[in-house]
Structure formats: C-alpha cells, structure tokens
C-alpha cells in the first residue's frame, strides 16, 4: 500500500508510527527536533490521514505496510517509534522483522489485549462510543468545526478527546465536511486493533531480542499498568527498559513533548 509520509532531516533513519485516530501530522514537532540528527519519516497508517482506505485493517497488514514502506525508501534498518496502535504495529513488526530494527520505542501501550466490556473503564477510551459518535454526524447539516464539536460533545464529554478527533476533519471537493478516517473499516475491525500479541508465540527462547527496547508509560494514563511489565512486556521483550513520563496522559507527545524527546534521545544514544 502506498502510504502517505512526511520526511525531515538527514542521517540514520527514524520512523514514527501514530496511533488510532491519529496521523503523521501529530508528530511534526518531535520529528523536526529529531531531524537535527536523523532522517525522520512520519507515516500515515492505512485508513488514517492521507493514506489510502482499505477494508483490511489489522496488525498483519499494518506491519506489512511498514515493511513495504521501508523497502520502497531503501531503509535497511531504522529506529522505530510507535504510539498506542502504532506501538502495536511496530511490536508485531519486531516479531517478524527484527533484523530491520536498530531501536524499538513503544509509547503508552502494552502488547496485551485491550478488548473491554461495553461500560467505561479507566484503562482506555471507550472506542466504540467514539466510533458511534463519529458515525452519527450528519455532515449535510454541518457548517463549521464547532458544529461537529457540539455534536460530539453530546456523547464525548472530554474536550481533549474531541479536539484530537477534530484533527481528522476534511472538506471534500464540494466544500462539505467529512472524516479523513475510514470510520467504517475501523469500526468493523476494532476487536483486531484492540487485541494483543499471543504470549505463547514467545516461549522457549522465542522472545524478541537483538536490539534495545524502551516502553514509555504516561504517568496519568492506565494503558500500561504496573503489573504489565512483569506479566507480559518482559515475557516478550526480556531486556526492555521502562520509563514513566510525569504529568502526562495517553497523548504524551502533545502533553510532555520536551520530556518525551529527551527520553527518546537519551535511549538512542546511551
């Protein structure tokens, strides 16, 4: 799949992979800083941003999209940075293509399943509620971004979540607002996106090793819990390091940009 991408700087390759509902646009600030020492690629994963839409949407195709991108750009080996869903994309990639990775940096996601009951739970956002709210927008009646925000606010009370979703608004050639996201494919495949890695694939010496691995936990987020390191992260990535970014929620790259960048650079150069 021909992924949309942005490129900054020159040097060793760094590829940043965004999360669910995100896009390359969300990581430009960090990419520009990293570009002082690296050639940084920001990709839009399929069904997101400016990349093509497709009914197939799971970590098998997402990791293969990443491989195809690296081959197309003649990137033999790269630092891979992935946030949330993007973190799982690069973890699945690491399982099959470890020789293509120099460093793996996984931001605020564990390799576990996040499939939860219907009710709101503190661990994660209620994704099906978000999808339902996005689908419910009647764009024929929408005149402004504020109109969309007002509609989303009926079911999504968190302003930060709504503002993040609103980054996906686009005007088509007729001047009508629409979602850039492939909402239909995301809804259909949500269980696959929320699912995790199978720990049984990594027993008896099959753990993922051979390059440095860093997991970044946002202190105010419960996507990575205290027990996750011993229960699943260390079982799959036995030499992984874990660092916590204070005063940050799940979108740590927006809330603690400087501190996250500092930790990324320290890890790469240590």
Q: How far apart are CA 31 and CA 68, in angstroms?
A: 21
Residue 125's pLDDT is 63
Residues 11 and 32 in one domain: yes
Mean pLDDT of the chain, nearest integer: 94
CATH number at residue 209: 3.40.50.1820
Residues 72 and 28 in one domain: yes
Q: Is the pLDDT of residue 223 over 60?
A: yes
Residues 20 and 134 in one domain: no
Residues 74 and 132 in one domain: no
**Marked catalytic residue, from 23, 24, 51, 84:** 84
Residues 31 and 102 in one domain: yes
Residues 82 and 165 in one domain: no
Domain boundaries, position 265: 5-114+197-269
Residue 118's pLDDT is 44
Q: Catalytic annotation on 250?
A: yes
Residue 226's pLDDT is 87
Residue 116's pLDDT is 67
Q: What mean pLDDT do residues 8-25 have?
A: 97
Q: Which of 191, 213, 238 is the last residue of a domain?
A: 191
- The answer, as to whether pTM is greater than 0.75, is yes
**Marked catalytic residue, from 48, 103, 127, 250:** 250
Q: 233-259, pLDDT tens digit by residue? A: 999 999 999 999 999 999 999 999 999
Q: What mean pLDDT do residues 114-127 have?
A: 60
Residue 70: inside a domain: yes
**% of residues, the chain, pLDDT over 70:** 96
- Contact status, residue 59 vs residue 114, Cβ threshold 8 Å: no
Residues 43 and 173 in one domain: no
Q: What total number of domains does the chain contain? A: 2
Residues 184 and 202 in one domain: no
């Amino acid at each position: 799949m021909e992924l949309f991408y942005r490129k900054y700087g020159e040097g060793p390759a760094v590829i940043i992979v965004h999360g669910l509902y995100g896009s390359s646009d969300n990581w430009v600030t960090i990419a520009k800083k990293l570009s002082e020492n690296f050639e940084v690629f920001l990709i839009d994963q399929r069904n997101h941003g400016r990349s093509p839409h497709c009914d197939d949407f799971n970590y098998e195709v997402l990791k293969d999209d990443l491989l195809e991108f690296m081959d197309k750009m003649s990137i033999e080996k790269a630092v891979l940075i992935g946030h949330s869903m993007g973190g799982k994309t690069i973890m699945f990639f690491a399982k099959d293509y470890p020789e293509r990775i120099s460093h793996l940096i996984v931001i605020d996601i564990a390799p576990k399943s996040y499939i939860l009951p219907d009710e709101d739970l503190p661990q994660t956002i209620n994704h099906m509620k978000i999808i339902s709210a996005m689908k419910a927008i009647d764009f024929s009646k929408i005149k402004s971004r504020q109109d969309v925000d007002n509609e989303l606010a009926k079911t999504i009370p968190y302003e930060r979540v709504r503002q993040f979703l609103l980054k996906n608004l686009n005007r088509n050639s007729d001047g009508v607002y629409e979602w850039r996201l492939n909402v239909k494919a995301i809804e259909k495949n949500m269980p696959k996106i929320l699912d995790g890695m199978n720990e049984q694939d990594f027993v008896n010496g099959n753990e993922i090793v051979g390059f440095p691995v860093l997991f970044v936990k946002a202190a105010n987020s419960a996507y990575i819990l205290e027990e996750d390191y011993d229960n699943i992260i260390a079982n799959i990535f036995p030499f992984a390091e874990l660092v916590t970014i204070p005063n940050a929620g799940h979108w740590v790259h927006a809330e603690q940009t400087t501190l996250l960048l500092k930790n990324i650079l320290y890890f790469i150069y240590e």
